Every structure is written in structure tokens, then in C-alpha cells.
């Protein structure tokens, strides 16, 4: 049987919508009186705000972007509570809107006022309109390299970068059986100047939340000091543990501890430091925005928090032992403003007359009692060359520019790595030193394990002049010889006495061994009465080193900076009496 469907059959599917009576939605009853509803809405909003503030810790400050998000969220919570407690009264979209507007008048106008404030504040801080103010954030003073940069003692030059320091710190903690199961090394590794030495310091942290529960009453028991010259790692055990750190939770968490004591202040990332007595502190730089509401970030002093007790105090001029008030990132950003906008905003885009920027890297060097940031300055048009460099005091932000034209840092790093390419060493970001009145890049060469194996010096103006050495002294000696060979300095400069103190070691040679390193013969000496080899002499520095024999009575001259992990590097050797073998 065949069925066919036609339009007439559709009559059977018609529905009479008027057949059933239309249901009317019953309006929900509001909760209590108007004053009671306002009280409920306010209490819920305050409770939500307290929890959010405790967790997120926004600064109560019109210059802080997170403050606007916090207030907008509170307004939204109040409006939702008002709708619930008032019963969602109203017909249609227009009716609901009128109802919401009536119930949420105060939050609505508060949100509108904040939006207007943020927009106006953002426009008044727009770099297009305020380029002169941005370039004035950093004062840069021209200086002479040869007149102001002395040949520094090598006990002031950091030989390690952060990655190498981390390797040493992790290895040291692994040797401590009483700590390694409960704690880890934090990732801070702040570089400071401690008792005139460049070091990196970092606290421990709890291994996990369970280990925090087990150890929180005593706090963190120690911090590490990594000497950037000798590569020695010291574990400083604390009689009273550190109870206020970034690794803590609840009220002892450093960020929460700061926020509840300084609710309106904005802070940079806290830096772990120690004072000259070894007391651990957190240096929390006070951040301000000086152009409009959100532009012109600058620091104004710092809050110092004792990591042991939690005691804190704000210093507009921090003590001299503090090394990090201005972060490297802030200084680099402010110099870029200075270099781009000192001839106006539009010049930075069109024409670009005298527009300069920092290079893609930086390093630190200890000068006096302070730590200085170093970075190169190059033209805004990338041409793999520098026009100079800056040194900026990280405590005071005093910044000097030195006009030294030459290869940019990564070109120098490539040149140094090419010198030892068969060893596959990697160069650290260099420092700029004065060697025999020549601007010179100095860098460490690391192996795949991030351990320093050699050192390199590269001439800035002629970066094909590269010297390497297994020690800093050897590297410098090779470099000075190359300067003489290339006519860049006089031969007298080779024997310039270094600023560090000379020491002597006298004994009788009991054993001699030799090895060839980068084409130079190294002689290792063991003295009578010693179980290990303690002196290394390089033939390229001490011409008569190959003539030394077992039984010779000698005096070895060396600098305090040449004391390595296993031996000292000889600057000179004086033979008092030769062995009976015929000398």
C-alpha cells in the first residue's frame, strides 16, 4: 500500500496555542526590608572582598592596575547579590535593566568613575604626549673610559654567572644529609658585594607542602653564599630559622606580610640580601608611577624586612650594605626611554637621529661597596657593533656612559667560543675591563655542566684579538702579550703590578708533572711533605719553568686571587738551590 502526503493532511498537525490559558510568572519576593537587603549585600561583598584581598593581595592604590580589577569585581558581586535578595523583579530586558540600575546605583556610578579615571590617567601618561618626561627618568652622565675605569683587582670580578652558581648550590645542598631530604635551594641567587667580595646569596625553600608542615615552626635553617671568584660555596646555618620568606604560606608569606603592613604601597620583586653581619633581609623596593596614572615606573627607597623576625622598616635612602634597590630590568627600560626619546617621540620613529638602545644582555660588577649593572649601548639600527656602554649603580641609579666603539657583546662571545671550539665551551655574557689602557671584554668559558673551565679576553676594537687561559692570571698574561704583538701597548705594560697583594710559598719540589693546555705547557708541582700538587706554573709566563727539577728549593710568588680549588697559579718562581742532578 502506498501512502502519499499532501498539504491538506497538515491540518491535523495544527496546534491551537490559544487553547490553553497563558501562565504568568509569579514575581519573587524580596528578602526582608530594603535596609536588611543592603546589609546582606554589603556583608557578602565585604566577605568576598576580604577573601580575594587575602589571596591576590592587590595594592590599594589608584596607580595600581590590579586595584581597578579588584573594585570592579566587588561592584559585580554586590550587583549579583542585589538581584538575588530583591527577587529579580522586572518585565523584559528593559524592565530588568531599570531594576538593576535602581538596585545598583552606587556600584554603577563607582565603576563609571573608575573607568573615566583610568582612561584619563592612561592618556595623560601616554608616551606620545609625555616623551620628554619618559627620557628624563634616567640621568646619564658622559664619562671617560681611560680616566675613570681603573684596572681592577680580579677579586672584584665575578667569574660565575647565575646558571653556574645554581649548579654549585644544588651540588652543595646534595652534600648535606640533614637538609637535602627536606629542603631545596631557592632560585634567587642575588649578586651582592659582601665584605668587599662579589658573591651570590640564596635562601633554602621547603621541598613541598608536607615538608613545610613538618618544618615551619623552626623556619628555613640556612642560606648559601657562593663566592663568584673562588667558586667556594658556604652554607650559613642560622640559630633561628628564617620564618618570613617567599616560600612561606599564610601570614608569614613575605608578599602577604608586606601587603598587610603597607596596603597602599606597590613593590618590585623582593631581593634576598644579607647585611655585613650575615643577617638575612628582603629588600623590597617601593615602586611608583610618576607619569600620569600608569606610566613612568620608578623606585623610591625600599622596605627592608628581617627574614628571621619579620620586622620591617621603610628607608627612602637604604643603608650602604643594600645593593639592589633598582632592578636591572628597570634600569634597562629607563635607558631605552632615554636613548629613544631624548630628541622627541616622533624622532624615534622617523629619522631616528641619535637614537640608541641597550644590547640584549647585561652583567654585574662590584665597584667599591656597590654592585653596578653593565650593558652595551648600540644604535637602534642593528649593526652588531656598540657605540659604548653604561655602568649603573643599583642602589642609587647613578649612571655613567662611556663612549667605546667596537664589537657588541655577542660577537665577542662568538669570537671567544671560536677560540676553543674543539672543547665546545660556552661563553658567559662579558664584562668590560681596562687592561693596559685597552677596553677589553672579559668572560668565563663553561662546559656542558655549566662549570667554569677557562677564561677569555677579547679586545673591543679588534675582536679578532682573543686570549684564553685556564686561570685568570694566565688569560691576562696571554692577552697582554697579544696586545704587544699587535702594537696596541708597550712591552712595559706586561709587567704592570696588579692591584691585589702578592704572596709567597717556599718549599722543595718533590714531584713534577706536565700537561699541554691550548698549546701552552702547564707544570704541576708537589712540594716535599705534601700529599697533593699545590702549584701550577705556565711556561708562557715563566720561561724557565721547563728547567725546574725534583729537589729544587724554590719560592713561588702568587696573588691571593690566584688561589683556586686545587692549586695556586705561579706568577714567578725563584730558585734558591738547584737539585744535585747537575744544575
Angle, helices 34-56 vs 65-86, to 10°: value is: 150
| Separation of alpha carbons 178 and 157, rounded Å | 33
**Alpha helix (H) residue ranges in 87-144:** 92-103, 105-124, 131-135
Write the secondary structure of 12-42 as one string of H (helix), E (strand) and C (coil).
HHCCCCCCCCCCCCCCCCCCCCHHHHHHHHH
pLDDT value of position 497:
44
pLDDT value of position 481:
85
Give the chain's end-to-end CA distance (angstroms, integer).
Answer: 130
| Separation of alpha carbons 57 and 251, rounded Å | 12
Report yes or no: 489 and 478 within 8 Å, Cβ to Cβ. Answer: no
| Separation of alpha carbons 69 and 241, rounded Å | 37
Write the secondary structure of 132-187 as one string of H (helix), E (strand) and C (coil).
HHHHCCCCEEEECHHHHCCCCCHHHCCCCCHHHHHHHHHHHHHCCCCCCCCEEECC
Alpha carbon dihedral 363, 365, 371, 376, in 10-degree steps, equals: -50
pLDDT value of position 499:
44
10-residue mean pLDDT profile of the chain (583 residues): values are 52 52 60 86 96 97 97 94 77 66 85 96 96 96 86 74 89 88 95 91 96 95 92 93 96 97 97 97 98 96 98 96 96 97 92 92 86 92 83 96 91 93 92 88 89 90 90 84 83 49 83 79 88 82 83 84 65 78 45
pLDDT value of position 205:
96
pLDDT value of position 250:
95
C-alpha cell at 232: 667556594
Write down the pTM of the prediction: 0.80
* Strand 385-386 versus strand 406-407 pairing type: antiparallel
Amino acid at each position: 500500500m502506498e501512502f502519499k502526503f499532501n498539504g491538506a493532511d497538515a491540518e491535523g498537525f495544527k496546534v491551537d496555542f490559544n487553547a490553553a490559558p497563558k501562565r504568568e510568572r509569579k514575581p519573587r519576593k524580596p528578602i526582608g526590608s530594603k535596609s536588611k537587603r543592603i546589609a546582606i549585600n554589603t556583608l557578602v561583598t565585604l566577605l568576598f572582598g576580604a577573601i580575594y584581598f587575602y589571596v591576590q593581595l592587590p595594592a590599594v592604590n589608584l596607580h595600581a592596575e590590579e586595584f581597578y580589577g579588584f573594585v570592579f569585581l566587588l561592584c559585580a558581586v554586590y550587583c549579583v547579590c542585589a538581584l538575588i535578595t530583591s527577587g529579580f523583579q522586572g518585565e523584559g530586558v528593559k524592565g530588568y535593566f531599570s531594576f538593576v540600575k535602581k538596585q545598583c546605583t552606587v556600584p554603577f556610578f563607582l565603576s563609571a568613575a573608575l573607568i573615566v579615571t583610568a582612561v584619563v590617567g592612561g592618556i595623560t601618561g601616554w608616551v606620545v604626549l609625555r616623551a620628554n618626561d619618559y627620557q628624563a627618568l634616567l640621568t646619564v652622565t658622559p664619562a671617560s673610559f681611560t680616566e675613570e675605569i681603573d684596572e681592577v683587582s680580579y677579586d672584584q670580578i665575578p667569574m660565575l654567572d647565575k646558571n653556574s652558581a645554581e649548579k654549585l648550590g644544588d651540588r652543595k645542598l646534595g652534600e648535606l644529609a640533614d637538609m637535602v631530604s627536606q629542603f631545596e635551594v631557592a632560585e634567587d641567587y642575588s649578586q651582592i658585594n659582601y665584605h668587599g667580595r662579589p658573591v651570590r646569596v640564596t635562601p633554602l625553600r621547603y621541598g613541598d607542602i608536607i615538608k613545610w608542615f613538618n618544618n615551619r615552626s623552626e623556619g628555613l635553617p640556612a642560606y648559601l653564599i657562593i663566592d663568584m671568584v673562588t667558586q667556594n660555596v658556604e652554607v650559613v646555618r642560622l640559630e633561628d630559622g628564617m620564618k618570613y620568606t617567599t616560600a612561606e604560606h599564610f601570614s608569614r608569606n613575605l608578599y602577604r606580610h608586606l601587603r598587610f603592613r603597607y596596603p597602599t604601597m606597590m613593590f618590585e620583586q623582593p631581593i634576598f640580601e644579607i647585611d655585613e653581619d650575615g643577617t638575612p633581609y628582603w629588600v623590597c623596593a617601593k615602586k611608583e608611577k610618576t607619569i600620569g596614572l600608569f606610566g613612568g615606573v620608578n623606585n623610591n627607597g625600599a622596605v627592608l624586612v628581617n627574614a628571621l623576625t619579620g620586622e620591617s622598616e621603610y628607608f627612602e635612602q637604604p643603608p650602604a650594605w643594600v645593593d639592589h634597590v633598582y632592578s636591572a630590568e628597570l634600569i634597562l627600560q629607563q635607558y631605552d626611554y632615554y636613548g629613544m626619546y631624548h630628541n622627541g617621540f616622533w624622532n624615534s620613529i622617523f629619522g631616528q637621529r641619535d637614537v640608541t638602545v641597550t644590547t640584549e644582555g647585561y652583567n654585574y660588577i662590584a665597584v667599591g661597596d656597590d654592585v653596578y649593572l653593565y650593558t652595551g649601548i648600540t644604535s637602534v639600527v642593528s649593526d652588531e657593533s656598540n657605540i659604548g656602554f653604561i655602568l649603573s649603580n643599583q642602589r642609587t641609579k647613578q649612571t655613567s656612559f662611556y663612549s667605546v666603539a667596537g664589537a657588541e657583546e655577542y660577537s665577542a662571545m662568538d669570537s671567544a667560543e671560536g677560540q676553543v671550539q674543539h672543547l665546545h665551551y660556552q661563553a658567559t655574557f662579558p664584562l668590560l675591563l681596562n687592561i693596559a689602557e685597552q677596553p677589553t671584554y672579559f668572560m668565563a668559558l663553561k662546559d656542558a655542566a655549566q662549570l667554569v673551565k677557562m677564561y677569555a679576553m677579547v679586545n673591543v676594537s679588534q675582536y679578532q684579538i682573543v686570549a684564553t687561559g685556564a686561570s685568570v692570571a694566565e688569560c691576562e698574561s696571554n692577552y697582554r702579550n697579544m696586545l704587544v704583538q699587535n702594537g696596541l701597548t708597550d712591552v712595559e705594560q706586561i709587567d704592570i703590578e696588579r692591584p691585589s697583594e702578592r704572596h709567597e710559598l717556599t718549599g722543595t719540589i718533590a714531584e713534577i708533572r706536565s700537561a699541554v693546555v691550548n698549546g701552552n705547557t702547564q707544570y704541576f708541582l708537589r712540594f716535599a711533605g705534601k700529599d697533593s700538587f699545590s702549584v701550577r706554573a705556565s711556561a708562557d709566563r715563566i720561561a724557565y719553568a721547563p728547567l725546574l727539577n725534583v729537589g729544587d728549593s724554590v719560592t713561588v710568588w702568587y696573588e691571593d686571587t690566584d688561589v683556586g680549588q686545587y692549586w695556586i697559579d705561579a706568577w714567578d718562581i725563584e730558585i734558591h738551590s738547584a737539585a744535585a742532578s747537575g744544575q
